[in-house]
Amino acid sequence: MGEFDGKVAVVTGGSLGIGRAVVERLGRDGASVVFCGVDDRSVREGEAALRDEGLSVTGAVADVTDAAAMRDLVELAVSRYGGLDTLVTSAGIQRYGTVEDTSEELWDEVLSVNLKGVFLASKAAVPALRARGGGTIVTISSVQAFTAQDGVAAYTASKAAINGLTRAMAMDHARDGIRVNVVCPGSVETPMLRWAADLFRGGASQQEQIAQWGRAHPLGRVARAEEVAEVVAFLAGPRSSFVTGAEHRVDGGLLARNPAALPEV
């Protein structure tokens, strides 16, 4: 018996990266999972690969910034699998710029995908979760909800707002038996991190740049997507039954380190 046997989950951004790892983790532990992405090829390839493993999954091409698409995604889970027990919001994009050089269009793009996407998916999911007598929502944020690099104004703002929205939903829907928590990863080996590495690697290779970022974490490496998915699964399931409105850092100790290091003796 798996921990999620008989449970139904929706995962946004589930065709790649952390979202894909979450779909695999929940599916392997018994959940039926509906996931979405914006790229048809990655959605279909992911669906086929997971079904070949014997997992109960359905992929859909859906834009998290479209309210109707999010309602349809939840309805797909309800109609195909009988209800909804868990929502994981993993869709997100990274863009770079200060407030001075970030265009209004880029700002809107980042906030629309990263923040509005969480709002619309949750808005669609809450009635279905309530109809099951409760459930869980796990949002994916970032350590950049707490701290910032140079030139990430829109991204950092979106991630901090996700944390605030998570707290608000946890308070609003505790009476419905819906627990809402947020996971805040550090650097994770995903297509988005590899894309960023290519932007900033200069004369280094992609993997050398990722390794450099990994050394900033006290554990000495970047995370694997499945390590983040383990924390998501804990928060989505019954083992975390008294946890709601909480921020969970999965960052290899990144934010625990004081950058003013003492000299070696």
Identity of the residue numbered 74: V
- Rounded CA-CA distance 242/246 in Å is 10
- Among candidate residues 35, 81, 96, 155, the one labeled active-site is 155
Question: What is the C-alpha end-to-end distance of the chain, expressed in Å?
Answer: 53
Q: In angstroms, what CA-CA distances link 262 with 88, 218, 259?
A: 40, 15, 9
Among 60, 41, 59, 63, smallest CA distance to 50 is for 59
Annotation marks residue 81 as catalytic: no
C-alpha angle 147/244/214, rounded to 5°? 35
Going through 128-264 in order, the beta strands assigned E by DSSP cover 135-140, 178-185, 188-189, 223-224, 247-250
- Cα 174 to the center of its chain, rounded Å: 21
Show which residues are catalytic.
155
